Structure 1
Amino acid sequence: MGRHTRPPSSPSQKLPVVDLQDTFTKLLESLRPIVWSKEEYNAAVRKVDEFGKPGGIEEVLEARLKERYDETEHWLEEWWDDGGYLGYRDLVIVYVSSYCKPHPYSRSSSAACDVGIARGATIFRQQLKCGKAAAEGTKGSPFCMDTHRWMFDCCRVPDPDGLDWSVTYAKPGDTGNSGHIVVFRNNRPWKVELTDSGRIACLV
């Protein structure tokens, strides 16, 4: 994005490697309400105990995770992007991207709804580029918003071997006062400018 999108007054902590024994405990707790029988739950307990026994593969994997934590800034980011997005072959619009539609009782037309989404996204893009976007978070802990740079000014390049990659076209120093979107209508693409004389257009 050319600059930080996270407010400097809300620093985020590095994502920790959670203790696997704690993970095993939470896993078994989460299984209780969904197992079909006590036998099925006990079978899961045996598998967890076998995997997590001292000197087993669990200790090796945990050591590798901690080593990756020490060697990278974001130990999960690459796996998250590749496994959840760039190597994900299902329909992006249906299964990945958020979708907004008007309330069934809304009096707004579909075009008005589209304009509202486009303008709202443009304002949010400008806030990101200027470092004024409010930090997202939970329980008082802010999230790192570094990955928000891939929300705008970038594209996904298909790879025939199955793992796509992303290319950014963000310009250093850009404050979000320029840009356009591409709209398809009747199978024809249209380039729609979102700004006018350095200001976000009202799009009406």
Structure 2
Amino acid sequence: MDNNLSKSRPERTFQYQSSLPSLPVPLLETSLSKYLDAVHPFASEEEFKATADIVSKFQAGVGKELHQKLLQRARTKRNWLEEWWLDTAYLEVRIPSQLKVNFAGPGPYLEHCWPPEEGTQLQRTSITTWHTLQYWNLIRTERLHPQKAGKIPLDMDQFRMLFCTCKVPGVKKDTIRNYFKTESEGPCPSHLVVICRGRIFTFDAVCDGQILTPPELLRQLSYVKECCEGEPEGDGVAALTSEERTRWAQAREYLINIDPHNNTILEIIQSSLFVISLDETKPYSTPENFTNLTQEALTGNPTIRWGDKSYNSLAFADGTFGSTCDHAPYDAMVLVSMCWYLDQQIKVTSGRWK
């Protein structure tokens, strides 16, 4: 997996996008044959024969007509499947996303640099946030090397959805809002959102064109923590993102109707680079067991997780990390690529700011 900033190679992150081939439509016979192969182990001989007869009639009848319509659709779209898959698998689904659709997991950094340690949460968060911002900048300036299978370039479009992206609930169907732009395309949001004890904060991660250093990020995070200490828990509005989708959409509209400024606040959260959750939990168990950490990332305190964000970094009280991510904008390998980059950078610096 090659995510290194390449000095010798001129290739830019998205340079192959327009030259990638369209998604091919498989032959009807091939699809039906694969279907029968999949069914066979689960059917009796009598059931399989009946199924094969139905498939044969479908292939000779309505299947031909449907296949021609599919070919016609493929002539006008580079990816004839993507829109259908996105709607059916993610946007029209009404079950709670955060628990049943999102993907989540532990940060691996504790294996070599950051074993659990009290009092390290904010310092480590400032460092991992800084490296994450460097990765965002690699994509924004198109210096992240395009991923390839051998010498064949792969589609990098989903990397545009890692930052500045959020799913917004609808009564019948959700939508994805992506605010990311490359440097050549124009201005891109550069603010972060931090959630702590049910309260939501924001600050810009870039000043005068420069990404804030870890000490500067630490100062911001420390201020957030100080604001929350000794105070009652906030309203925990983020918990609404763990609701059933239609109910969350209705609640969101209610928030906007009672005060139009709430729409501005929601827009700030949606367009942010990503969300940092300062979690007071201490989930780590043993070096051989990531179960507690993974479970906490998947099912932890909903008042400090914005479940619709494309990337929500979780910083736990014992200095360990995790993440939860809405699945609609991209597949997990995009996050794996970034986590690999973060892990390498943290390892090189022994987890310290140099």
Q: What TM-score comes out, normalization by structure 2 length?
A: 0.46
Which residue of 2 is the match for residue 98 of structure 1? 103
Q: Where does residue 124 of structure 1 map in the other structure?
A: 135
SS in 2 for 1:181: strand
Q: Deviation at 1:40?
A: 4.3
Among 141, 163, 169, the residue aligned to 2:179:
169
Instruction: After TM superposition, give the deviation of residue 87 of structure 1 in Å.
Output: 1.4
Moved more, 57-66 or 104-113: 104-113
User: Which letter maps to 1:57?
Assistant: V
Is 1:78 equivalent to 2:83 in the alignment?
A: yes
Name the CA distance, whole Å, in 1 between partners of 2:66 and 2:124: 48
Aligned to 1:187: 198
Q: CA deviation at 1:129?
A: 2.0
For residues 200 and 145 of structure 2, the distance between their equivalents in structure 1, rounded to whole angstroms, comes to 33
User: What residue identity is the alignment partner of 2:190?
Assistant: G
Asked if 2 retains the 8 angstrom alpha-carbon contact of 1:180 and 1:194, the reply is yes
Q: Classify 1:13/1:196 alpha carbon distance in 2 versus 1 (closer, same or farther; 3 Å).
A: same
Residue from 54, 63, 67 that aligns with 1:62:
67
Partner SS, residue 68 of structure 1: helix
Counterparts of 2:38 and 2:182 in 1: how far apart (Å)?
46
Q: Does 1:155 align with 2:174?
A: no
* Aligned partner of residue 23 in structure 2, secondary structure: coil
| Inter-partner Cα distance in structure 2 for 1:181 and 1:123 | 14
Asked whether the equivalents of residues 178 and 198 of structure 1 are also in contact (C-alpha less than 8 Å), the reply is no
> Which digits, 9 at most, give the CA deviation of each residue in 1:118-168, with x for residues without a partner?
4454333222222233334557643322243333223333222x1122333
Equivalent position of 1:198 in the other structure? 209
State the 1:113 CA deviation. 7.0
Instruction: State the 1:32 CA deviation.
Output: 4.1
Cα distance in 1 for partners of 2:30, 2:183 equals 44
Output one character per residue of 1:49-101: Cα deviation in whole Å (capped at 9) or x when no partner: 2322x2x1111111111111112233222212222222122332334333131
Structure 2 unaligned spans of 5+: 1-11, 219-354
Query: Alignment partner of 1:6: what SS?
Result: coil
Instruction: Specify the alignment match of 1:23 in structure 2.
Output: 31
TM-score, length basis structure 1: 0.73
Q: Which of the pair is proportionally richer in helix?
A: 2
Following the alignment from structure 2 to structure 1, what is the Cα–Cα distance between the partners of residues 46 and 127?
53
Gaps of 5+ in 1: none
Number of residue equivalences: 197
Paired amino acid for 2:94: R
Q: Which residue of 2 aligns with 1:12?
A: 20
Q: Name the SS of the counterpart of 1:27 in structure 2.
A: helix
Q: CA shift at 1:198, angstroms?
A: 2.8
Q: Is the 8 A contact 1:125 1:176 kept in 2?
A: no
Indicate if the aligned counterparts of 2:17 and 2:157 stay in contact, CA closer than 8 A: no
- Distance change (3 Å), C-alpha of 1:9 and 1:23: closer
In 2, distance between residues paired with 1:80 and 1:97?
16
Q: Report the counterpart of residue 50 of structure 1 in structure 2.
A: 57
Do the aligned partners of 1:7 and 1:133 also contact (CA within 8 Å) in 2?
A: no
Q: AA paired with 1:26? A: K
